[in-house]
Amino acid sequence: MRIYAPIEIKRRELISRILFATYLASKGWSVVIGSKQDILSKLKILKRGYFFFKSIQHRTIDFFNSLKSLNYKIVALDEEGLMHYQDEYYLRRVSGERLKDVSKYFCWGEKDFELLKKTYPESSNKLVVAGNARLSLLNKNYRTLYDSELKKINEKYGDFILISTKFGKINFVPRREYKDYVQGQVDAGYVKTETALATAKKAKKHEEINFKKYFEFLNRVGKEFKNLKIGILPHPGEKKDPYIEVASKYSNIFLLDDYFSSNSYFSHCKVNISCNCTTGLETYLLDNLSINYMPYTDPDVEYTLPKLVSKNIYNEDALISFLEKIDQSKNEEMKNVKTSSKNDLKKNISDNFFPEIVFNNLDHYDLGDKDRFDSNLFYLYYSLKRKIREILFSIFKIDSARKLKKQKIGSLTLDEVKIFSKKICKIQEIEDVIVKEKYPGIFEFVKKKLD
């Protein structure tokens, strides 16, 4: 029994994928993680199994058909589907035709479950309320996973106010096939109505104006409020240049290292400031305070959850005033947010243990085949091929798509995967799971065979 769980953004997903893999491996499954690109490049030589899609958008048809022709089974969730402003906006990410093809579709909570059930009643038996491995990882049982990173972050940066950016509609890494957010939505087939087109334009405007407003805030803090120490964590899909530029001008503003996981930053910071962003929820679930700062507002394109779990501030003066008193007022504000958000939050996210829900809802599926070219000799061959490709890209300059992948994934090493796997196994009281690197950047978790 094999299941593939690709990683798209390392600092967001790596540890949760390891949590997922260790649990299912302890139940006797073979679980493979790695970057999406690395796994896709080896589909023809890998053992067939379940493949976990991060979304089932309309444009995934060719990929679906390719996997089906190779005898893979497909399961899915929507990694980015927790945040949506309206039903039409969410449904643009879920193709009814693709939903028919999946074995199971795992929902974040009752809200998206009921919406999909109502929209696609013919596929209601595919839907499962499951939560997400990223949410399971935020449980207090797993907080010790970050102890080492928290210590290093504190040694490197000390106390600071975090800004988690989300301006990918405006400040995206340019690439050949993507030049503008609205046009990109049209080209991807998301925009099918005038309402959808208007929403896309509003969403772009919302980020465009707030992007500028955030830099106004940063420049003011850099010049006038040296007592406020700001660490910027750019979204992996964004250009870093604007943030590097503003950080270079002021001693109290700096860029944070991509090496550490997002959750460690959300736990450590005095407060996390973001704009209409999932990081507000993650910070909240880690028992820290988030500020949803939106100096420009448009309710039509603002997510519900960040408002529920954050202190909402819409004015620069109010934000600075609050930050100057953060040490005195933080605990009271956290208490207020927890009280007001508790009931509504339950409708949006499930507190199920995601790996267990997946295990309980997938049928046994094993064709009896094996990985091809699975030997030390072929590992060396693929490693050399990978190294040559990297050298060629560095000589002839990295193309935009590769630059984006580098920002999102960077490198995955067996040592770091083993470190977190060992910690998770200890927390879960699992002793019989091992991990090995089957091919460069592709890691398999299995139950250790008894002698």
Burial 7-23 (b: 16+ CB within 10 A, else e): bbbbbbbbbbbbbbbbb
pLDDT recorded at residue 403: 65
* Torsion of Cα atoms, 208 then 213 then 216 then 220, to 10°: -160
pLDDT recorded at residue 405: 67
The per-residue pLDDT string of the chain (451 residues; one tens digit each, 9 = 90 and over) reads: 899 999 988 888 999 999 999 999 999 999 999 988 889 888 899 999 999 998 888 777 888 888 989 999 999 998 887 877 778 778 888 889 899 989 999 999 999 999 999 999 999 999 999 999 999 999 999 999 999 999 999 999 999 999 999 999 999 987 777 789 998 888 877 888 888 899 999 999 999 999 999 999 999 999 999 999 999 999 988 999 999 999 999 999 999 988 899 999 999 999 999 999 999 999 999 999 999 999 999 999 999 889 999 999 999 999 999 999 999 989 898 888 877 676 678 888 898 999 999 999 999 888 788 888 777 777 777 777 777 766 666 666 555 556 666 677 777 889 999 999 999 999 999 988 999 998 888 999 999 875 5
pLDDT recorded at residue 2: 94
pLDDT recorded at residue 192: 81
pLDDT recorded at residue 420: 93
pLDDT recorded at residue 435: 95
pLDDT recorded at residue 432: 86
In this structure, the strands spanning 442-447 and 433-439 are: antiparallel
In this structure, the strands spanning 253-255 and 442-447 are: unpaired
pLDDT recorded at residue 401: 57
Element (H, E) at 21: helix 10-26
User: Would you tell me how many other CB atoms lie within 10 Å of the CB of residue 363?
Assistant: 9
pLDDT recorded at residue 72: 93
Please, how many CA atoms are within 13 Å of residue 234, restricted to the half-sphere of its CB? 25
pLDDT recorded at residue 377: 75
Task: Please state, in angstroms and rounded to a whole number, the distance separating the CA atoms of residues 17 and 32.
Answer: 9
- Residues 49 and 31 sit within 8 Å (Cβ to Cβ): no
- Residues 81 and 108 sit within 8 Å (Cβ to Cβ): yes
Both tokens assigned to 154:
């504190």
- Residues 256 and 231 sit within 8 Å (Cβ to Cβ): yes
pLDDT recorded at residue 402: 63
Nearest to 58 by CA among 188, 191, 193, 194: 188
> Interhelix angle for 326-348 vs 316-324, to 10°?
120
Can you spell out the DSSP letters for 86-145? SHHHHHTTB-HHHHHH-SEEEESSHHHHHHHHHH-GGGGGGEEE---HHHHTTSGGGGGG
Residue type, 60: T
Task: Please state, in angstroms and rounded to a whole number, the distance separating the CA atoms of residues 237 and 168.
Answer: 6
